[in-house]
A and B are shown apart, each in its own frame.
Chain A
């Protein structure tokens, strides 16, 4: 299977992507993750302003066949969520890295950014899961 792996992003082992712009991180799930879930029909997200620790579950992504957790890639405060996903959760399938972004986090611990996966490491991870 050919999945998209944009190389300007960071990744997590739980299949989130992270785009870092100064102290704001935009978060979504990867092309591989949306393929695994299949048609996404509902997404449950936390309220704006919630502060969450890295690696805790902050949302649920429900597809026709399965439910997946959205895991916080960085500790911080949720400052924006993609309102379009409430009525159009399928944007995560059709455009996982663009229109299907899920939320934005204001973070302060730059060390956590360094522990995210590079695109090369993440590709390796997906390849090993595919086997």
Chain B
């Protein structure tokens, strides 16, 4: 679709390629991004059966340097950096004092004095401000690499097999959440075994000038371009939290079921620690659950959830699962109604349809 370009909306270095491929472009987090190339269902199934290439350049990339990087991040992050080592990454969350979420992200320890961090597209500016505001007199320097580097994900059961011939590193030595610096057909890249699809695969980052070459190298392997539509349906099946949905500045990680992330970190203070550990031991009034419909229909974000006529929560994410061929969703409900097997009603455009709480994730193959 030809829509007029809006001023101030950015393009990734792969914009022209997406257009050439016939992608339907949408504005997302300040970028023109491909929502689908041909069909969300087809792209989704390709990632579950072969491999796909995603442009995720809209996400933020920061570099941290300095003697105090680890102690600085220990205070900001709820996960424990003592579990890290050089060449390893870690998923974490940074919280406000009240335990709600600033952002979820992944950081990678290159050396104890040099970290790389990847954050959500929609939170780039906010995160940078939040991080900088907490440096004080510590020896920490943050460089925003977001606009000078390009980020791609390469995901699917065949990701290893297709990627192996391209790189000069032994992929079998890179375990989940580990990373390496290597060359992809002689082009220097950062490669991590991480992802957001519930499949095996990698996320890579490199200088903008290599964008077209690397995109072509990756799609020439037989992997297909995948848009944001399938990225969302894949992560929903895998039940990975999405900022603004399952976690936000009004939902804590414990309410989102991410108890394992909030570490005790004895002797180390961190923002939100007291509330999070308290919620972890005593439980929360609300909790994220998995949802299916018993009747036919599609569950969507913000639909209200009822139990015996009383409103008990709302859908945080919902949609159609191409893998399971049925509707799936996540909802934030009052904890007393959160047991698997609980029947409830979901209001879909004025009608109450029968739903049920089911175990999650819906699908993962990692």
Contacts and interface: CB of A to CB of B under 8 A. Distances in A.
Tell whether A and B belong to one assembly.
yes
B220 to A, nearest CB: 27
A124 interface: no
B229 interface: yes
B1 A62 contact: no
Q: How large is the interface on A (under 10, 10 to 19, 20 to 34, 35 or more residues)?
A: 10 to 19
Q: How large is the interface on B (under 10, 10 to 19, 20 to 34, 35 or more residues)?
A: 20 to 34
Given A38-B39, A39-B39, A39-B40, A64 B320 contact: yes
A41 B40 CA distance: 11
B39 A65 contact: no
B303 to A, nearest CB: 11
A67 B301 CA distance: 12
A44 interface: yes
B40 A130 contact: no
Contact of A65 (B229, B296, B322, B349): B229
A35 to B, nearest CB: 9
Interface string A57-71: 000101011010000
Nearest to B298: A62
A5 interface: no
Interface of A: 1, 38-39, 41-42, 44, 60, 62, 64-65, 67, 130-131
For the complex of A and B, the 4 pairs showing the least CB-CB separation, nearest first, are A41-B320, A62-B298, A39-B41, A64-B40
7 contacts: A38-B39, A38-B229, A39-B40, A62-B298, A64-B322, A67-B298, A130-B1
Given A39-B40, A130-B1, 6 more contacts: A39-B42, A62-B297, A64-B229, A64-B320, A64-B322, A130-B2
